């Protein structure tokens, strides 16, 4: 098998990926290119990988309150450092590049508990490339990159958690791509089965997996995805360490945000993480804003103090100050709304009555944890950027550009691919955005008039002037400003700014970490080769004629 890696202009034999330096670990781009090399047929792929630098983030556990340990010392919630990942794959079809796959994910590092949370936010395809699609290969390689101790970039991590929410929808990242008749969207049942198969393929010593379809028990869920067969044993139904349910009540594996099991008080905000466009996040917000206060009582009328009462109050001034401090600490540790009264089992039981879980289509929640041997950290500061990382703003601008491109027609998809790839390269090489316009139409124009995206002189708009599109989102984005309806502390402000400047992508960054292409010459996969029917001998039976009685 001959492969050509043009990200670094080198040729590699037998599917081995290139390294930046001798002895260095493989980066994410090379790891994904190696996975693309296994696809059958003669194909050429172009890959762009954007990994942002770490930044302080308070939205993963926004309702976690300070706890009090056994030594009566108050502990504030651990710091979380977030990174954004955007993967874009295009394929050459009839001499033209066209986007075929996009993946949006988040990486959350919690150094205090030595945990990393990987959230797969969105996965979308255009169905414009050859078959089989690279989705399975890319997702398996992406998850294994962050869970394998030999490749994961985070040092000092002992556990890696993978979270995803499966909901079948026509489009997520490619607007109007569902209008293409060649795009076959998986049914909710097949989508849940596919994700379960992908996670099962990522193995590791001590790995555990949880899955849950709200509203269904285990047998109903297995029957829905086609894994319940007559006479099948429990081990054959759920291979590996699969458990039907949620991981937030088990004690075998420490949760990412639980510092000390003996500390108090813990509430729902310490157990369940919050992600964008996730129904459980919206449910958490509602529980945090729910109170059982029936009315507001007027304060009692105070009487004027006498001289004796004044002397007594002055002698107790110090005691009053200590009491005020104690009340303030109690207020800080008090759970928001009903988070302290709703348990994890009750939370998921009530999730089965949520609108997105009873609307007729099944939705699945998947969680996996992979224990990893801890290795020494090269940098003591988790905010220090690594080589090949880009700024958070660059990820946002590229993602917004893709969401404002029309993928309904092949011409629009080809043009959108050219604009997006040129924009990524232009940002790295310092080229003005006007030479590679990242926005062709506004969101409203895409929905109402798709033909305007193919005109010769489309309007050029700066990405910073446009609000993020919301036509593919059901759960709204978290607001940075505190709402009057939200409880205090719903959005925690960062205590200190990032001491490191934002990384600036360069031409070397583009060629060594972001962009890469690969051409494979593999054996074609014949149609039906995976499920060929055996030819069986047919026995013909003679038919007896009934003799009529005279």
Per-residue model confidence as pLDDT tens digits over 227-281 = 886 445 454 445 558 999 999 999 899 999 987 777 777 889 999 999 988 999 9
The pLDDT score that the predictor gives to residue 384 is 87
Omega into 283 within 30° of 0, i.e. cis?
A: no
| CA atoms in the 13 A half-sphere facing the CB of 47 | 31
Q: Residue ranges per domain, the chain?
A: 53-287+346-506
The pLDDT score that the predictor gives to residue 73 is 63
The pLDDT score that the predictor gives to residue 212 is 97
Phi, psi of 365 (to 5 degrees): -115, 130
Q: What tokens does 475 get?
A: 């759960």
Go through 226-246 and write b for each residue having 16 or more CB atoms within 10 A of its CB, e for each that does not: ebeeeeeeeeeebeeebbbbb
The pLDDT score that the predictor gives to residue 546 is 67
Q: Quick check: 348 and 216 in contact, CB under 8 A?
A: no
Give the Cα separation of 311 and 313 in Å (integer).
Answer: 5
The pLDDT score that the predictor gives to residue 351 is 93
CA distances from 400 to 170, 268, 415, 449 (A): 19, 33, 16, 19
4: alpha, beta or left, given left = phi > 0 and alpha = psi -120 to 50? Answer: beta
DSSP string, 340-393: TT--HHHHHHHHTTSHHHHSSS--EEEEEEEE------S-S-TTPPPTT-B-HH
Give the Cα separation of 102 and 126 in Å (integer).
Answer: 9
Query: What is the per-residue pLDDT across 303-335, written as a single tens digit (0 to 9) for each?
Result: 565 665 556 555 566 556 655 555 555 566 678
Q: Quick check: 63 and 490 in contact, CB under 8 A?
A: yes
Q: Quick check: 446 and 176 in contact, CB under 8 A?
A: yes
The pLDDT score that the predictor gives to residue 80 is 95
In the chain (550 residues long), the average pLDDT of successive 10-residue segments reads: 44 40 69 96 97 94 82 76 97 95 97 94 96 96 93 86 95 95 94 96 91 94 85 49 93 87 80 93 90 45 58 59 56 78 93 84 94 67 90 94 94 96 93 43 33 37 39 42 42 61 92 96 66 43 65
The pLDDT score that the predictor gives to residue 517 is 97
Give the Cα separation of 323 and 78 in Å (integer).
Answer: 27
- For residue 61, give the H/E element and its range: none
0.85 exceeded by the pTM? no
Q: What tokens does 15 get?
A: 């599917």
The pLDDT score that the predictor gives to residue 461 is 35
Q: Quick check: 256 and 329 in contact, CB under 8 A?
A: no
The pLDDT score that the predictor gives to residue 449 is 34
Rounded to the nearest angstrom, the gap between the alpha carbon of residue 325 and the centroid of all alpha carbons in its chain is 40
The pLDDT score that the predictor gives to residue 494 is 47
């Amino acid at each position: 098998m001959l492969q050509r890696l043009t990200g670094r202009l080198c040729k590699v034999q037998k599917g081995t990926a290139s390294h930046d330096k001798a002895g260095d670990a493989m980066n994410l781009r090379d790891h994904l290119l190696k996975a693309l090399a296994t696809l059958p047929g003669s194909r050429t792929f172009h890959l762009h990988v954007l990994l942002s630098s770490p930044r302080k983030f308070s939205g993963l556990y926004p309702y976690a309150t300070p706890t009090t340990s056994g030594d009566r010392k108050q502990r504030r919630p651990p710091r979380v450092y977030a990174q954004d990942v955007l993967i874009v794959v295009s394929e050459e079809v009839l001499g033209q590049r066209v986007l075929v796959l996009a993946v949006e994910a988040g990486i959350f590092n919690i150094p205090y508990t030595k945990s990393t949370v990987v959230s797969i936010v969105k996965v979308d395809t255009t169905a414009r490339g050859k078959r089989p699609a690279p989705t399975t290969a890319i997702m398996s390689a992406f998850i294994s990159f962050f869970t394998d101790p030999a490749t994961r970039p985070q040092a000092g991590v002992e556990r890696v958690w993978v979270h995803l929410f499966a909901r079948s929808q026509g489009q997520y990242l490619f607007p109007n791509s569902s209008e293409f008749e060649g795009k076959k969207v998986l049914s909710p049942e097949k989508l849940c089965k596919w994700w379960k198969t992908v996670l099962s393929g990522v193995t590791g010593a001590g790995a555990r997996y949880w899955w849950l379809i709200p509203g269904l028990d285990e047998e109903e869920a297995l029957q829905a995805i086609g894994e319940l067969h007559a006479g099948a044993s429990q081990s054959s139904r759920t291979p590996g360490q699969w458990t039907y349910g949620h991981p937030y009540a088990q004690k075998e594996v420490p949760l990412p945000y639980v510092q000390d099991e003996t500390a108090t008080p813990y509430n729902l905000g310490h157990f369940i993480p919050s992600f964008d466009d996730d129904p459980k996040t919206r449910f958490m917000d509602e529980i945090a804003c729910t109170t059982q206060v029936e009315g507001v009582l007027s304060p009692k009328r105070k009487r004027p103090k006498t001289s004796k009462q004044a002397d007594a109050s002055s002698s107790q001034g110090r005691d009053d100050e200590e009491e005020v401090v104690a009340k303030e600490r109690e207020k800080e540790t008090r759970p928001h709304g009903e988070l302290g009264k709703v348990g994890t089992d009750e939370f998921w039981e009530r999730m089965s009555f949520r609108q997105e879980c009873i609307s007729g289509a099944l939705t699945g929640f998947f969680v996996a944890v992979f224990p990893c041997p801890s290795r020494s950290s090269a940098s003591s500061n988790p905010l220090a950027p690594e080589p090949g990382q880009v700024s958070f703003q660059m990820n946002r601008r590229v993602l917004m550009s893709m969401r404002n491109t029309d993928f309904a027609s092949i011409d629009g998809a080809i043009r959108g691919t050219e604009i997006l790839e040129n924009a990524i390269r232009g940002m790295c090489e310092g080229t003005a955005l006007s030479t590679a316009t990242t926005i062709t139409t506004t969101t409203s124009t895409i929905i109402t008039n798709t033909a305007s995206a193919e005109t010769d002189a489309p309007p050029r708009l700066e990405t910073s002037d446009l609000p993020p599109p919301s036509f593919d989102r059901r759960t709204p984005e978290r607001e940075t400003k505190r709402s009057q309806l939200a409880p205090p502390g719903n959005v925690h402000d960062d205590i200190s700014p990032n001491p490191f400047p934002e990384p600036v992508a360069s031409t070397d960054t583009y060629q060594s970490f972001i962009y890469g292409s690969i051409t494979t010459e593999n054996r074609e996969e014949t149609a039906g080769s995976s499920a060929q029917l055996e030819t069986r001998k047919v026995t013909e039976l003679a038919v007896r004629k009934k003799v009529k009685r005279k």
